[in-house]
Amino acid sequence: MDEVWDTIIIGAGSAGMAAAIYAARFNLKVLVIGKEVGGLLNESHNVENYPGYKSITGIDLMLKFKEHMDNLDVPTKTEWVTEVKAENYDDPKKCIYNVITDKGEYKGKTIIFTNGTKHRKLNAKGEEALSGKGVSYCATCDAAFYKNIPVAIVGGGDSAALAGQLVSEFASKVYVIVRKNKMRAEPINLQRLEKNEKVEILYETEVEEILGENLVEKIILSKEYNGSKELPVEGVFIEIGQIIQSELAEKMGVTLNERKEIIINENSETNLRGVYAAGDVGNKEYKQALTGASEGAIAAFAAYALLQKIHEGEDVDVRY
């Protein structure tokens, strides 16, 4: 008989690792499967709003989560999940979720989706060809390569504001290209950006094309800046938000909203019994390391309560 886990957590970012810590402390047999421990938070240069840390890099915060999880002996698999299938869904006592990955197959009594998001592409002409040759989706990873040269940041959210600040520590000049007439970054991040002498914010402007022989040399803007639509930059950081990675959940019958986020209730439950979601893959309005971790903890509580009920032969809600 194959090993059956009490809960399998798909995704190893802040939400997934918090869920794992709580599940392990409930004595649940928990497995974490994630392509990368830490997830997108690894790319956050500076996190200044996680209580307990006045300022910490995303990667260091995630290493602390990992250390905590390891201390509870939670196994992690660095694998890519390709499918999740329910077996015997109508019988809560026999219901098993089969998690198929690129390397194997695992069985879980409950599932917690915490597989977050991936970077949104701009889909501008030249973007794909110059990706990795001056076009980057990760300022934290690549900012230091852009010393003393002009660069552009595309986007108007928090990520763009934070990237602008970071890249300005290296680049000679930073143009932040915002398609609307205002940025929607956190006020404190926007104020820092506006005060930064190396940064210029170009509003109501889009990037139509990225040009360069082998490396980025310039971008073409949708409207003129200083008398020309051509802007000479040698780097373009694309910071225009994320795409929700909810296809796995959708394929197994989990309900999504119009933004493709998994719909969860206050207990991090989805429409399927024993299936939970937490963090950026879910439909909560505010998405932060802290709120994701909190939803992950709640999912572990709910999974524990469900398994207790099933174990004690109590009736459980069959949800669809």
Question: Footprint of ligand NDP on this chain (CB under 6 A)?
Answer: 44, 47, 49, 122, 154-160, 162, 179-180, 184, 206, 239-242, 287-289
Q: Which is nearer to ligand NDP, 155 or 212 (CB)?
A: 155
| Shortest reach from residue 112's CB to ligand NDP, in Å | 20
Q: Which is nearer to ligand NDP, 40 or 96 (CB)?
A: 40
Q: Which is nearer to ligand NDP, 159 or 268 (CB)?
A: 159
| Shortest reach from residue 58's CB to ligand NDP, in Å | 8
For the chain, the first-to-last Cα distance in angstroms comes to 28
| Shortest reach from residue 258's CB to ligand NDP, in Å | 15
| Shortest reach from residue 238's CB to ligand NDP, in Å | 8
Whether the Cβ atoms of residue 80 and residue 105 lie closer than 8 Å to each other:
no
Q: Which is nearer to ligand NDP, 37 or 303 (CB)?
A: 37
Q: Which is nearer to ligand NDP, 136 or 159 (CB)?
A: 159
Burial class from Cβ neighbours inside 10 Å (0-12, 13-18, 19+) for residue 260 reads middle
| Shortest reach from residue 132's CB to ligand NDP, in Å | 20
SS (H, E, C) the chain: CCCEEEEEEECCCHHHHHHHHHHHHCCCCEEEECCCCCHHHHHCCCECCECCECCECHHHHHHHHHHHHHHCCCCEECCCEEEEEEECCCCCCCCEEEEEECCCEEEEEEEEECCCEEECCCCCECCCCCECCCEECCHHHHHHHCCCCEEEEECCCHHHHHHHHHHHCCCCEEEEECCCCCCCCCHHHHHHHHHCCCEEEECCCCEEEEECCCCCCEEEEEEEECCEEEECCCEEEECCCEEECCHHHHHCCCCECCCCCECCCCCCECCCCCEEECHHHECCCCCCHHHHHHHHHHHHHHHHHHHHHHHCCCCCCCCC
By beta-carbon distance, which residue lies closest to ligand NDP? 157
Q: Which is nearer to ligand NDP, 165 or 268 (CB)?
A: 165
| Shortest reach from residue 281's CB to ligand NDP, in Å | 13
| Shortest reach from residue 105's CB to ligand NDP, in Å | 33
| Shortest reach from residue 285's CB to ligand NDP, in Å | 9
Q: Which is nearer to ligand NDP, 35 or 179 (CB)?
A: 179
Q: Which is nearer to ligand NDP, 176 or 303 (CB)?
A: 176
Could you give the CA distance from residue 160 to residue 51 in angstroms, rounded to a whole number?
23
